[in-house]
Amino acid sequence: MEHIIEKQREIPIIARPDVLVAGGGPAGIGAAIAAARSGVKTMLIERYGFPGGNLTTAMVNPFFTFHDENGNQVIRGIAEEFVDRMKQGGASLGHVADLTFDNASMTPFDAERAKIILIEMLEEAGVELLFHTWIVDANVANGVVGSVIIENKSGRQAICPKYIVDCTGDADVAAFSGVPFAKGKDEDGSMQPATLYFRVGGADVEQLRNWMKKNRNILKDSPSDEQIDKQKAIAFLGMNQMVQEAKDSGMLHSEVAPRILMYELPIPGVFCVNTTRIQNIDGTKTADITRAEVALRKQVLEVHAFLQKYIGGFESSYILDSGIQVGIRETRRIAGDYVLTEQEVLNSASFEDGIACGTFAIDIHPPHGKKQIFTGSGKSVYEIPYRCLIPKNLKNLLVAGRPISATHIAHGSIRVMATCTAMGQAAGVAVAMACHNKCGTREINIKQLRKELVEQGQYLLNENIGEMVDPDLILDSENSDGRQAEHYNPFRTKK
């Protein structure tokens, strides 16, 4: 590869915050709000013109998942505060039952109104915002990230924080700082495929319910009339044989997901669709992302034509919009002080330094092959150790969100947005504690960190925390096998 050499230049320092949060997605929202509320000067930088990350830019919907199979809410804190604000503002119905992937609950929301609510929450906490900004480098000395280099319309600039929480989703700050990382499967580095969400308007919801009752045999687990009628927001999954036939005929691209998956939103007649798919995409490579954007926007038209032709209630529907960017499920995973494993996820592991809980299944859209792996859904509540957020060899950087230190398979559970928000909140509190105590991120008092998180409403294992059980969200799918959805769940098989 040919190279050019840039001239040496001085880069202006534009800010010296106590805490810099890089990335305004679910983890970044939790981290920035928590740090600012803890009394430290906090700055959030985000590459788009609004916060939310996959919640808003990629239109990933619904918000998964807040409850275990017994209906007990295990994601609380700032994530739940955000849901409450959305309910108050008409942007969400809150937590409702899910008939798709054996989760006890799902939380559909209106991404457009969510943007404003998140901005308000960040402003109220006192977070300084800087949008339309990319991180392009970092400078490290003696294990301390002394500055990050950013670029935006104002040019190339520097920010010199005392502590950093990397919530970029791709561990960009950690990678620029020399932290070792892995990508994808151990054997070949292949990663989960990318998907472009899109929204459809003009659907006739009652007609769809009637169609589902008449065609229950092609939907996952053949839902009963009662299950279909009592759904506050329709969750639709199935039609794998019809999808395959459409691929064979050329109506759908061969890489489209092997099932139709869509969710009703809190807007009359509007659904979000999660069915486009493309393999062999590395979300840290611009050429790959470009290829995904081009291919998936073409798939959107194909999938919508399929909905109009085959699903009752969608005959007169229309495409409202699609994600500002393609949704990336997996890229880097840092080498941290501890590696969370799939066995720990499935066996409800707790840790002395546990800082957030998860209960979403191990959900892997396979890099090769068609069948989606969905293991142990709702069967366990596990903790994420603080050590998984600490990159090797650095003293003032934490990573929160999907790139934490975990195996490829465990990552299939921890990567979802509700869990990432909880991780971000913990990271924000942790760096604020380090700032107040003028110590490294490894030197904070873990018992005090857990105590503070509980006082903020977070749920942790082995603490005296009352249950918040919603009887309407107790998981009722013991006989689920996913045959009409092309997913495999060994914990839930037909008897």
pLDDT score of 370: 58
- Compute the mean pLDDT over every residue in the chain, rounded to the nearest whole number: 93
H or E element that contains 20: strand 19-22
Q: 1-10, 76-85, 166-175, 331-340: which range is least confident on average? A: 1-10
C-alpha distance from residue 386 to each of 35, 340, 389, 407, 447 (Å): 16, 10, 6, 16, 11
Split at pLDDT 50, 70, 90, the class of 487 is low
For the beta carbon of residue 295, count every other beta carbon within 10 angstroms: 18
Domain residue extents for the chain: 13-93+108-186+331-463, 198-328
Using CB atoms within 10 Å of the CB of residue 186, give its burial: 0 to 12 exposed, 13 to 18 middle, 19+ buried. Answer: exposed
Strands (DSSP E) found in 114-270: 128-130, 134-141, 144-152, 155-159, 163-166, 181-183, 198-201, 235-238, 260-264
Encode pLDDT of 85-100 as tens digits: 999 999 999 999 987 8
pLDDT score of 477: 59
Q: 23-32, 360-369, 481-490: which range is least confident on average? A: 481-490
Can you read off the two tokens belonging to residue 480? Answer: 């689920």
Encode pLDDT of 62-121 as tens digits: 999 999 988 999 999 999 999 999 999 999 999 999 878 778 899 999 999 999 999 999
Helix axes 26-37, 111-125, angle to 10 degrees: 20
Can you read off the two tokens belonging to residue 166? Answer: 């990397």
pLDDT score of 377: 54
Pairing of strands 163-166, 19-22: parallel
Q: Which CATH superfamily is domain 13-93+108-186+331-463 in?
A: FAD/NAD(P)-binding domain (3.50.50.60)
| Pairwise CA distance, residues 322 & 77, whole Å | 30
Encode pLDDT of 469-483 as tens digits: 999 998 875 555 545
Q: What is the mean pLDDT of residues 41-65?
A: 97
Given a cut of 90, whether residue 134 has pLDDT beyond it is yes
H or E element that contains 212: helix 205-214
DSSP state of 272: E
52 Cβ partners below 8 Å, 6+ apart?
A: 24, 25, 26, 29, 111, 114, 115, 118
| Pairwise CA distance, residues 47 & 45, whole Å | 7
Pick the more confident residue, 173 or 221. 173
C-alpha distance from residue 15 to each of 31, 34, 44, 399 (Å): 18, 20, 11, 21
pLDDT score of 492: 45
Given a cut of 60, whether residue 233 has pLDDT beyond it is yes
Encode pLDDT of 393-432 as tens digits: 999 999 999 999 999 999 999 999 999 999 999 999 999 9
| Pairwise CA distance, residues 459 & 293, whole Å | 38
pLDDT score of 493: 39
| Pairwise CA distance, residues 139 & 102, whole Å | 45
pTM: 0.95
Given a cut of 90, whether residue 260 has pLDDT beyond it is yes
H or E element that contains 21: strand 19-22
Given a cut of 60, whether residue 56 has pLDDT beyond it is yes
Helix axes 111-125, 77-88, angle to 10 degrees: 120
pLDDT score of 100: 83
pLDDT score of 64: 93
